[in-house]
Amino acid sequence: MFGPNHSPRYHHRERDFSEHYADTARLFCEFAGIDTDDWDVFFVTGSGTCAIQTILYSLSDQLNVVTEGHFSDRIKRYLTDIGKKSNSSSKTAGVVYETSISHLNDDLPDDIFMCDCVSSFPYYEPKGQIWATVTSKQIGCAPGLSIVVMKKSLWDDGSINFADESYLSLGKFKAKREDHQTPHTPAITLIDDLNEKLRNWDAERFRTMISKRRNELLMHIPTDCIIGDGPVLTLKDDERSRGLTTLFNLYNYSSDGPQLFLWSGTGKQYDKLYERLGEFY
Give the DSSP per-residue string, 127-193: -SSEEEEESSSTT-PPSSEEEEEEEGGGGTTT-B--S---TT-HHHHHHHHTTT--SS---HHHHHH
CB 102 within 8 A of CB 234: yes
Q: Is 98 helix (H, G, I), strand (E, B) or coil?
A: strand
The span from the CA of 201 to the CA of 229, in Å, is 24
Looking at residue 5, its pLDDT comes to: 54
Looking at residue 3, its pLDDT comes to: 52
- Cα-to-chain-centroid distance, residue 281: 32
Looking at residue 225, its pLDDT comes to: 97
Using 50 as the pLDDT threshold, list the residues of the chain that sit under it.
1-2
Looking at residue 165, its pLDDT comes to: 78
CB 236 within 8 A of CB 226: yes
Is the pTM above the cut of 0.75? yes
> Which one, of 160, 180, 164, lies nearest residue 28 by Cα?
180
Looking at residue 15, its pLDDT comes to: 78
Q: Is 9 helix (H, G, I), strand (E, B) or coil?
A: coil
Give the residues across from 17 on adjacent strands. Answer: none
Looking at residue 162, its pLDDT comes to: 77
The span from the CA of 94 to the CA of 92, in Å, is 7
